């Protein structure tokens, strides 16, 4: 079974209690998804929660090689405007992924939504870090709920 992730690009400061709580909740949600039968995890490659979730799955794969990671890239050049640190994280994510799906050769309006819809379409579970509406993450969460995915909110 497949589990997709959705969450905001903005995260709490890395040294804050809120960030530590987010990491703990992410770990628990991934453990729950694996117990429920998920062995394939999909992220969208965006800054923030996507990178964090993808890094967590790559770390988890080292002790649980039965799981896999797919990155659904909305368009080539997605990370062109990332900071050097986030660009390095993004490249490590793509290099460590078992599968990379590039949905468009170039940016176009709606390509992020199309990526999110494809992740939901291919999944049975969704781990969501959604704190505000309106947002692409809230829209993806709504798609997941409407499709009837099992949603684990963190």
**CATH code for the domain in which residue 12 is found:** 3.40.50.450
Structural domain count of the chain: 1
Judge whether 90 and 45 are in contact, CB under 8 Å: yes
DSSP state of 77: T
Task: Name the β-bridge partners of 79.
Answer: none
The pLDDT of 69-77, averaged and rounded, is 97
- Span 97-145, pLDDT tens digits: 999 999 999 999 999 999 999 999 999 999 999 998 889 999 999 999 9
Asked whether 67 and 39 are in contact (CB, 8 A), the reply is yes
Q: What is the pLDDT of residues 35-67, one digit of tens each?
A: 999 999 999 999 999 999 999 999 999 999 999
Distance from C-alpha of 75 to C-alpha of 117, rounded to nearest angstrom = 14
The whole-angstrom separation of Cα 39 and Cα 123 is 11
DSSP annotation of 110 reads: T
Alpha helices (H) in 7-154, listed in sequence order:
17-35, 49-63, 84-96, 111-121, 136-147
Q: What is the pTM assigned to this prediction?
A: 0.95
Range of the domain at 39: 2-153
Nearest residue to 144 via CA among 132, 152, 135, 154: 152
Would you report the helix, strand and coil content of the chain in percent, each value rounded to 5? 45, 20, 35
14 φ, ψ (degrees, to nearest 5): -60, -25
């Amino acid at each position: 079974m497949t589990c997709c992730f959705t969450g905001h690009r903005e995260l709490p400061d890395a040294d804050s209690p809120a960030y530590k709580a987010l990491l703990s909740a992410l770990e628990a949600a991934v453990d729950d998804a694996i117990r429920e039968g998920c062995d394939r995890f999909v992220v969208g490659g965006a800054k923030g929660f996507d990178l964090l979730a993808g890094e967590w799955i790559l770390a988890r794969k080292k002790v649980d090689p039965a799981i896999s990671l797919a990155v659904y890239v909305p368009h080539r050049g997605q990370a062109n405007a990332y900071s050097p640190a986030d660009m390095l994280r993004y490249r490590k994510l793509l290099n460590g992924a078992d599968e990379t799906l590039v949905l468009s050769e170039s940016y176009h309006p709606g390509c992020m939504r199309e990526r999110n819809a494809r992740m939901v379409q291919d999944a049975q579970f969704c781990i969501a870090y959604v704190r505000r509406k309106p947002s692409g993450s809230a829209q993806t969460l709504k798609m997941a709920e409407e499709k009837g995915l099992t949603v684990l909110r963190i």
